[in-house]
Amino acid sequence: MKTWSTLVLMVACAPLLMAQDGCSNAELRDRQIVDEQQRVYHTAQPVPQFEFSLEREVAIELYQARNQAVATHSVWRSMSGVIEGDCPSIGYPIPYDSSLTNPLQVSMSSGAVVAMAEPNGLYPGQGGAISTWVRCVTEVNSRRVTAPVYIESIVTTYPYPVEVDYDTNRVRPVGGAEPTVTISARTGR
């Protein structure tokens, strides 16, 4: 009997042995309890399925909006909230740690899942940087040019013209200006 229970424990712990240094009886029992509780939840409160997702629809529209070269206005603030600068801009900011190629590699030891490219073709950053690229619009010799500005502050980009008041540390929409991007997510099918 002891040999049989040892064999069962070894088989149950085999996946954990590859990922961790070992598997104790207490850890195995905890896992069984959690798994059983999840089965109870699945029966009593199954995960719902929806014919339509408003949040997914909004996310799709946001990706589409971010992929347009529309007039925007970007304002950046210090960590304490003080306005440090602003510029008319094109499109939405790009997080500094976004990448064209996958910055993560598959772990040979664990086979961990790695990041996938977003619909815009970029790999999202890993959350380690707050720095941002903003495409600021400026005048050079009477012509408009777009210059990439690297900003290490918190950036807010508006889809309409704004007035920035550095004295009061406030940003206000210019009255009556139409947004260059709107969201029209449906409320269902």
pLDDT tens column, 60-107:
999 998 888 999 999 999 999 999 999 999 999 998 988 888 877 676
Angstrom distance (rounded) from CA 31 to CA 74: 49
CA-CA distance, 116 to 123, in Å (whole number)? 6
Give Cβ neighbours of residue 81 (< 8 Å, ≥ 6 apart).
169
pLDDT tens for each residue of 48-60: 999 999 999 998 9
| Rounded Cα–Cα distance for residues 173 and 18 (Å) | 57
Three-point CA angle 166, 168, 172, nearest 5° = 80
Indicate the pTM of the whole model: 0.68
The region, left, alpha or beta by phi > 0 then psi within -120 to 50, assigned to residue 50 is beta
